[in-house]
Amino acid sequence: MNEHIEEAITEFRREGRRYAKTERYYRGDHDLAFATEKFANTFGSLFREFAMNLCPAVCDAVRDRLRVAGFAGEAGEAAEAIWRRTRMPIRSGEVHREALVNGDAYVIVWPDEAGRAAIYPQRAANCTAIYDEEHPGRVLRAAKHWRTADGRTRLNVFYPDRIERFITAKAGEAALPEAREFLPFMEAGGRMANPFGSVPVFHFANNADIGARGRSELEAAIPVQDGLNKAVLDMLVAMEFSAYRQRWAAGIEIEYDNEGNAVAPFKAGVDHLWVTENPNARFGDFETAGLDQFIKVKDSFRIDVASVTGTPMYYLMPHTRGFPSGDALRRAESRLAAKVRDRQAAFGHTWAEAMAFALRIEGRGAEIEVRWEPPPS
């Protein structure tokens, strides 16, 4: 049993770093980069919270087209009743968003206090699933961890025939303590029987290999997003210098202080005038960089984001390309449409398994099939 706790903690720690990054980028909390340390010191505080965030468009373009319309099959009406009762018309969108952004999402299906089937969407960072190497695609066991109100950590390990429940003896700073710190959670009986014959945790893996973790829709977009942010930051820095052009003076005799350090002959500022008695002195300013080149580079990164993610350009740059219609729209959305069909097939299979489990809880064993709403056009 202890090895299964260690296994779960290892998975939580490894995948948690990936989830934290993709979640940050979706929210617009990006890793900003400057060309030099001097630029970072000068402009870092000014642009610390800046990001031209295209990540939501990449994920939401797919999520907007993933809406469960209902269920077909002998128990379709019963499945739809459970679906509506558990608010899944809304919460299923949260599951899809979690899977698209982080690569993985989970739901737990279990009886509520009244014995009815309940569906509980989970954050990717709090759950993990272990697959059978002999039968890829079949979940052997799963685990979930969370912090309690008193600062302790709970851990449940789910098996086809039981649920093992653990808790740390005392509160700790670390979100994930070591395996040896977990004790059976005796307040809830420690172990709970699972009479339904399969693991009640269902894994939504986005664009995954067989029996593997999913991939975030942002995996290929993040490096390009970093380049876009860098290009825009460079443009903003150039605008800063253009707004207050750098001046120069020649033919001025420089004075020195008592320590031999040169004393600036003038104080630069928009409210200061440079004057000298030397008739041979010359003044001027440096040419500023043209902003057109920065705009072209910025737009090229938008095109790259569209290319590597299959997102139509009008999602990322609507102000210059306009909105296509007819055949042009179908061509623009061909890769996105293929991606949506793939996600509907993968997520639909997992939803069907979850709803079949929910029906089993309520005494119905019929197979069902997910029906999707036609994507908007």
Q: Helix (H, G, I), strand (E, B), or coil: what is residue 41? A: helix
The token duo for 274 is 């440079």
The token duo for 28 is 């617009």
**Nearby residues of 24 by Cβ (< 8 Å), 6 or more positions away:** 30
Domain assignment present for residue 303? The answer is: no
CA distance 311 to 334: 10
Domain assignment present for residue 177? The answer is: yes
pLDDT of residue 327: 66
Cβ-count burial 292-331 (b if 16+ within 10 Å, e if not): eebeebbbebbebbbeebbbbbbbbbeeebeeeeeeeeee
Of 299, 319, 326, 343, nearest in space to 59 by CA: 343
The token duo for 336 is 């996105």
DSSP secondary structure code for residue 266 in this structure: S
pLDDT of residue 240: 64
Scanning the structure block, which residue is given the tokens 């995996």?
219
Where in the sequence is the domain holding 130, given as residue range(s)?
2-219+337-372
The token duo for 375 is 């994507």
Torsion sign (Cα): 31, 34, 35, 36:
negative
Phi-psi domain of 28 (left: phi exceeds 0; alpha: psi -120 through 50; beta: other): left
pLDDT of residue 255: 75
pLDDT of residue 71: 95
CA distance 106 to 8: 15
pLDDT of residue 37: 64
Domain assignment present for residue 200? The answer is: yes
Q: What is the mean pLDDT of each run of 10 residues along the chain (377 residues)?
A: 89 95 94 64 61 92 96 93 96 98 98 96 97 90 94 95 93 81 82 95 93 92 91 74 68 76 69 72 70 78 92 79 62 88 96 96 88 84
Domain assignment present for residue 108? The answer is: yes
Instruction: Name residue 284's amino acid.
Output: G
Domain assignment present for residue 125? The answer is: yes
Q: Helix (H, G, I), strand (E, B), or coil: what is residue 283? A: strand
CB 168, CB 152: distance < 8 Å? yes
pLDDT of residue 297: 82
Of 190, 265, 239, nearest in space to 46 by CA: 239
Provide the number of structural domains found in the chain: 1
Return the CA Rg of the chain. Answer: 29
CB 22, CB 208: distance < 8 Å? no
Domain assignment present for residue 260? The answer is: no
pLDDT of residue 375: 79
Phi-psi domain of 87 (left: phi exceeds 0; alpha: psi -120 through 50; beta: other): left
pLDDT of residue 101: 98
pLDDT of residue 158: 98
Domain assignment present for residue 185? The answer is: yes
pLDDT of residue 64: 95
Domain assignment present for residue 357? The answer is: yes
CB 340, CB 332: distance < 8 Å? no
Q: What is the largest CA-CA distance in the chain?
A: 101
Burial of 99 (0-12, 13-18, 19+ CB in 10 A): buried
The token duo for 178 is 């070591």
pTM of whole model > 0.85? no
DSSP string, 151-177: S-EEEEEE-SSEEEEEEESS--SSSS-
